Amino acid sequence: RDLRPAGYVGFSPWTDLTLSGASLVTNASRDQLLPGHRLTEIRAMILGGATPQDAMDPRLSPLHAEFPAPPPVLIHAAQTEILRDDALRMRGRLPRAEIRLAGDLPHVWPMLFNWLPEARDTLDDTARFIRRVLAPEAGS
């Protein structure tokens, strides 16, 4: 229908397949859910026969994309995860994005909503964002 997205929500997004974020190294021993060495393997699967230079393609690495007039954006990341800097560096591409940095939590902690109170809080916060961007007056 050629409609523009009302908004975007990202939990611990991997936005840079070039693997240049400092937190890949600084948080390597702290992120227990997503070990950094696995990203190289996963990137190879994504790229297939392409070269690592192709990881800069903005269709694969949003950190290298241009976003003229983006919709509202909410990104959650944890201070201790390896992809923290992928989320934080999106501020350079999406200056109006709401990027929320949580404390010592595992990668994509909202999926643990039955076990972590912080996960439920993050999901509640995300629901408020979604309701706000889907509100009838948000589109006008």
Residues written for the chain: 140
Distance of CA 97 to the CA centre of its chain: 11
Residue 90: burial class (beta carbons within 10 Å; 0-12, 13-18, 19+):
buried
Q: What is the pLDDT along the chain (140 residues), one digit of tens a residue?
A: 788 899 999 999 999 999 999 999 999 999 888 888 889 899 999 999 888 789 999 999 999 999 999 999 999 999 999 999 999 999 999 999 999 999 999 999 999 999 999 999 999 999 999 999 999 765 55
**Pairing mode, if any, of strands 98-102 and 8-11?**
unpaired
* pTM recorded for the entire structure: 0.91
Residue among 80, 76, 136 nearest 106 (CA): 80
Residue among 87, 88, 82 nearest 106 (CA): 82
Q: How far is CA 3 from CA 6, 18, 112, 135, 136, in A?
A: 9, 31, 32, 16, 15
The domain over range 8-139 is classified in CATH as 3.30.1490.20: no
Question: Structural domain boundaries of the chain?
Answer: 8-139
139: tokens are 């589109």
